[in-house]
Copies of this chain bind each other. A is one copy, B any other.
Amino acid sequence: MPAAVSPLAPATFPDLPQVAGVRFATAAAGLRYKNRTDVMLAVCDPGTSIAGVFTRSSTRSAPVRDCEAKIGFDGAEGAEGAAILVNSGNSNAFTGKAGEGAVERVAAAVAEVTGLPAARVFTSSTGVIGERLPDDRITAALGELTESLDPSGIEPAARAIMTTDTFPKGCARVVEIDGQKVTIAGIAKGSGMIAPDMATMLVYIFTDAKVARPLLQEMLSELTDRTFNCITVDGDTSTSDTLLLAATGKSAEVTARGVPFEDALHEVMLDLSHQVVRDGEGATKFVEVAVTGAADDVDARKVASSIANSPLVKTAIAGEDPNWGRIVMAVGKSGAKADRDTLSIRFGDIEVARDGWVSPDYAEEKGAAYMKGQELVIRVDLGLGDGTATMWTCDLTHAYIQINADYRS
């Protein structure tokens, strides 16, 4: 049986600080799961700006399309607050016009209980594709949800959005800006159907900084490309991927990129993205793939992605087999420019191959010992130029097959 909790999970859920201007509530609406929460509501005070990135899947879900339509508008300069309602157990994807109706009804009902315009209500749904969302169960829970809104409720929120996840995912950073404490706290869900290049999974990040929407969106989009777009579990891409970032404006104002705010946001996003990999379905190893020396960054990414998504590389890692030949294979099929004789490969600091062949000092025992670790780094230098890319992935194990051969049945 797959592990009840991933062996790569953090020891505990972090102690996330409150973010001024945001309150959370959760409920068990019985959408699919028994005896657990499956709906979370986050309500942000007036003055909140919201940025978002979404899956580029052509079959993305009704809630994703609704969010996309709403994301560009912050009302009268952010005068309005905002609400985020998320359910797990049902993705409301590929549910035709009925799916769009369900989103409208949920958003309208949330608008009514929160006093917000429906245009400021963002919804996400995650779970099985193609089944009608029983939205009446969500709207029936709204009374309970609005009554229990709580600034300290982010950990239960992280639990309510889980599907095949084995642990809830959260991360926070606190920085000082203009003498004021600024907090960033986020939660994420994701375990399978994880692939880069298409936004992300479900991630909600909140900050009390005051950030104008264009700047907030710019930072979010660029950081996504260096965090959530650089992870992969199985190369499959969800129809529900959504990342929302809400800035409530209760603390200091951020007017420029870089330190300290953007760096802290980057840390939160990187940490959450790594947690998704650490909860990769069936994962027993966390693997960083670091590519340098490519002709350019695009080529570096092709190579990193080819290695990180290769079933043969990932099963070798599962078997603790230092099978570097499969890395050579993955470089070769990537489509990037590569030259056998300038390519070098390292496992951590152990040089495995260079000058077109195995390194003279490499001994199989060294590689085999390294592969027994839980945290692995595969370094590939193409020896051609300055292009670099880093991606994060996990191994491919029996548990992945178990989880996915009968997830729905």
| A residues adjacent to B (C-beta < 8 A) | 55, 57-60, 91, 93-99, 128-131, 192-193, 195, 198, 234-239, 309-312, 315-316, 318-319, 321, 323-326, 328-334, 336-341, 343, 353, 355-358, 396-398, 400-402, 404-409
Contact = CB atoms under 8 A, between A and B. Distances in A.
B321 A400 contact: no
* Nearest 3 interchain pairs by C-beta: A129-B325, A319-B405, A59-B332
- Main secondary structure, interface of A, reads loop
Contacts of A192: 312
A152 to B, nearest CB: 36
A94 B398 contact: no
A131 B328 CA distance: 12
A93 B325 contact: yes
Contact of A321 (B55, B99, B408): B408
B325 A198 contact: no
Contacts of A198: 333
Contact of A338 (B59, B131, B404): B59
Nearest to A309: B235
A129 B326 contact: yes
A333 B237 contact: yes
Contacts of A55: 332
Task: Indicate how many identical chains form the complex.
Answer: 2
Nearest to A317: B405
A332 B130 contact: no
A331 B95 CA distance: 15
B59 A94 contact: no
A59 B340 contact: yes
A170 to B, nearest CB: 26
A401 B315 contact: yes
Given A58-B331, A340-B96, A400 B311 contact: yes
Given A98-B357, A321-B408, A353-B130, A237 B332 contact: yes
A94 B408 contact: no
B401 A333 contact: no
A236 B57 CA distance: 23
Given A58-B337, A343-B59, A405-B316, A193 B329 contact: yes
Contact of A398 (B57, B321, B324, B401): B401
13 contacts: A57-B333, A58-B332, A94-B325, A94-B340, A94-B353, A129-B329, A235-B311, A236-B312, A239-B332, A311-B404, A315-B400, A397-B401, A398-B402
Contacts of A315: 400-401, 404-405
A395 to B, nearest CB: 9
A364 to B, nearest CB: 10
Contacts of A59: 328-329, 331-332, 338, 340, 343
Contacts of A321: 405-409
A62 to B, nearest CB: 9
A404 B316 contact: yes
Nearest to A62: B340
Contacts of A407: 321, 323
A214 to B, nearest CB: 28
A200 to B, nearest CB: 14
A337 B58 CA distance: 7
Given A195-B333, A235-B311, A358-B130, A409 B319 contact: yes
A357 B91 CA distance: 13
A404 to B, nearest CB: 4
A341 B59 CA distance: 10
A239 B328 contact: yes
- Of the listed residues A98, A192, A341, A409, the one surrounded by the most CB atoms of chain B closer than 10 A to its CB is A409
Given A129-B326, A195-B333, 19 more contacts: A57-B329, A57-B332, A58-B334, A59-B338, A91-B325, A93-B325, A94-B325, A94-B357, A96-B356, A129-B328, A192-B312, A193-B312, A236-B329, A239-B328, A315-B404, A316-B408, A321-B406, A323-B407, A325-B408
